[in-house]
């Protein structure tokens, strides 16, 4: 289980433009790595749009924003275009990154059990260490939750 102070696991995946992205490419920068269940669902859209609306503030504070979910590149491309998302969305259809970060597991909705992504955000420092883990994400206030670590 990853904890604050742990080295963030490196990964390589395709973004919404089909480009290969590695975590280590962002050494020297702060990274907001947020895991979300699915493109186009209400809460995931609210969360992504909150990050979009506060993207300039996050960027000025030195953050690179990267979203990860199990959908493919084409889904991420449509999601990013429809909502004008200015940040990276990584496709992880085989849950490789999701499992490395320990955010895949059994969930329950209306009594039905299924496997899925736990909405979780990791704030990673310039040296690649986990600075903060947000496991109780508030979709409408997510940027504020991230910026609380600036205090």
Rounded distance between C-alpha atoms, residue 6 and residue 150, angstroms: 19
d(CA 101, CA 49): 23
Does any domain span residue 111?
Answer: yes
Please give the Cα distance from 86 to 75 (Å, whole number): 15
Q: Distance between terminal CA atoms of the chain?
A: 26
Reported as a pLDDT band with limits 50, 70 and 90, residue 92 is very high
- Give catalytic residue positions: 44
Q: Tell me the β-bridge partners of 64.
A: 31
Domain with residue 144: its CATH number is: 3.40.30.10
Q: Domain total for the chain?
A: 1
In a domain, 8, yes or no: no
- Domain coverage including residue 123: 28-150
Q: Is residue 9 part of a domain?
A: no
Q: pLDDT tens digits for 108-128?
A: 888 999 999 999 999 999 999
What residues are paired with 84 via a beta bridge?
A: none
Label residue 62 by pLDDT band (50, 70, 90): very high
């Amino acid at each position: 289980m990853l904890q604050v102070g742990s080295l963030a696991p490196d990964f390589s995946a395709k973004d919404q433009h089909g480009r290969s992205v590695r975590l280590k490419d962002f050494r020297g920068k702060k990274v907001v790595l947020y895991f979300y269940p699915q493109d186009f669902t209400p809460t995931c859209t609210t969360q992504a749009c909150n990050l979009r609306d506060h993207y300039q503030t996050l960027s000025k504070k030195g953050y690179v924003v990267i979203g990860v979910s199990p959908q493919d590149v084409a889904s991420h491309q449509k999601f990013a275009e429809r909502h004008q998302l200015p940040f990276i969305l990584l496709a992880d259809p085989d849950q490789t990154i999701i499992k490395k970060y320990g955010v895949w597991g059994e969930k329950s909705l209306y009594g039905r059990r299924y496997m899925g992504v736990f909405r979780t955000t990791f704030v990673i420092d310039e040296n690649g260490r986990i600075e903060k883990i947000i496991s109780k994400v508030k979709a409408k206030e997510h940027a504020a939750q991230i910026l609380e670590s600036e205090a």
